[in-house]
Amino acid sequence: MAKRQMPGMGGMGNMNMIKQAQKLQQDMMKAQEDLNAREYASSSGGGVVTAVASGSRNLVSLTIKPEVVDPEDVEMLQDLVLAAVNEALRLAEDEMQKEMSRFTGGLGLF
């Protein structure tokens, strides 16, 4: 008894689907590389503390203006640094989510 193929199953259709999936995977990897190379800056305290994070969520630089350094109020400086760093990292994460949702169709995979 000969096997019958269902319409649209097997053959060239499967090859096209595999090629599309491979292309999608390559596009996602390229987009992720591009995002990791980007930098995201955030300031706090009216610009006296600025943090720059990479898309790969690493702190790249931290700038503290001398006028904000007060030995009597180290806690304020710590708060300003945390605020700037966390916001820069949040910006990087938000951009990653937004870009990757183009590929996942909003499935929440990233």
pLDDT in tens, 12-62: 778 888 888 888 889 888 988 988 889 999 999 999 999 999 988 899 999
State the pTM of this model.
Answer: 0.69
Higher pLDDT, 3 or 80: 80
Are residues 69 and 49 in contact, defined by beta-carbon separation less than 8 angstroms? no
Tell me: pLDDT of 96 over 70.
Answer: yes
The pLDDT confidence band at residue 89, using thresholds 50, 70 and 90, is very high
Beta bridge partners of 62: 51
d(CA 68, CA 42): 16
Are residues 66 and 58 in contact, defined by beta-carbon separation less than 8 angstroms? no
Domains, the chain: 30-103 (3.30.1310.10)
Sign of the dihedral through C-alpha 13, 19, 22, 27? negative
Phi-psi region of 108 (alpha: psi -120 to 50; beta: other; left: phi over 0): left
d(CA 29, CA 33): 6
pLDDT in tens, 65-86: 999 999 999 999 999 999 999 9
DSSP 104: H
